[in-house]
Amino acid sequence: MAKKKRKTVYSGIGGEAVLEGVMMRNRRYYAIAVRKPDGTIDVKRRKLKYDPHDTIRRIPFIRGIISFVDSLMLGMDVLSYSSSFYEEEEETKLDRALKKVFGKNTENIVMGFTVFCSIIFAVLLFMLLPYGASELLGRYVENQSLILLTEGVLRLVVFLLYVGLIALSKDIRRLYQYHGAEHKCINCIESGRPLTVKNVRKTTRFHKRCGTSFMLLIVMIGIILCFFIRTDSITLRIIYRLLMIPLVAGISYELLRLAGSKDSIFLDIISAPGLWLQRLTTREPDDEMIEVAIASVEAVFNWQKFEKRHFKRKTKEAPAEVAAEQQSASENTSELEGVSAVAAERTVTYGEDITADTDAMLVAAQAEEERIVPDADIFENIDYDEDDYDDQITIVDYKEVSDDTYVMGPLAFPEDEDNN
């Protein structure tokens, strides 16, 4: 008997791996969770600088171009933040010179310049290098279609070699493991499973909305569109290829958006190459990496509310020892100064996930066999939106949480984020 396919529901949440951590984005917030050298998890939650529901960000194809640029900017920002835990912050002469010239705008200017250089490098490596090699073939072959086909094959080969070769680095392999943890958490949520390490470990590390699939779509669609560029001028051929980049990004985004939110044979075929490539760009994470990814998710997404709204799950009665333990925990919380008796009666969840009840403003933590409830005043400066979080938010490494304002996150498709 064929195994019944598990129901999945599009959540709208997106993310990416960073150095020893995971960034997750939902609606107007994104969170970065990083495993610090001392073993604790730092979680920083930030609000978007703009409204993701702006009209221009909802126009088909245009939104793909904007999302592509935003993803690059945010990617540089979160990577810089995560790497700050693993490098000595010694100010160089160049840093001092830049601050003297640009002042408070130094970080934004450096970030913009880095993104610009990254785009130039990508254009040279994945577009102009294959084009130049195919032009050399044109000296010996007169068939223009064969030359264009050769360019396309070379472009794909260069891209795959790049992805494969960087995986030889130990740091990149760990990054790919966190990438797998990010995917597994999202798959766990969208399949209706409670977000625990055990459940996340069971889910697949492949996901249709992955940025890897997006980049592969850009390469493949670019190859197809190149067949329509027919001109004898070398200069015009290069210009057309450069002008084609925004169009390719827009088309790729729309296809990825459809593939990630709907099911059909056509979309499954389009998604297949990207899912295959994720065998290179994702690795199975360990439990500590999964814990980091869960911390990032729970800082911006109420998976309990999402599960309750979209899935019906049979619940088992808790064992007597667990019930007694929760009752004991509830009695301990009532001793906290300033907590009302009504709030103290609410259930505080214990286990692998560290959770907080927003009414009582409590954090539950587990230290081996002893249950602890830290002081509630650590939540004084935490800003959250009740519409986004309903009755619960989750915080890890409590005193590290802050709400600075930065730019947007990656492919999370904000216009569809009404499910949670």
Say what the pLDDT of residue 51 is.
76
Q: In this structure, what DSSP letter does residue 2 have?
A: P
Instruction: Measure CA of the first residue to CA of the last residue in the chain; give whole Å.
Output: 34
Tokens 């935003």 belong to 70
pLDDT means over runs of 10, the chain (420 residues)? 65 91 92 94 88 84 87 84 77 74 77 82 89 86 86 92 90 94 95 94 92 91 87 86 91 88 84 93 95 96 92 60 52 40 31 35 33 32 35 34 32 47
* Local structure of 26: helix, strand or coil: strand
Rounded Cα distance, 250 and 309, in Å: 32
Phi, psi of 366 (to 5 degrees): -120, 125
Say what the pLDDT of residue 90 is.
64
Nearest to 175 by CA among 276, 97, 298, 78: 78
Say what the pLDDT of residue 277 is.
94
Say what the pLDDT of residue 339 is.
34
DSSP for 201-214 reads HHS-S--TT-HHHH
Rounded Cα distance, 271 and 208, in Å: 6
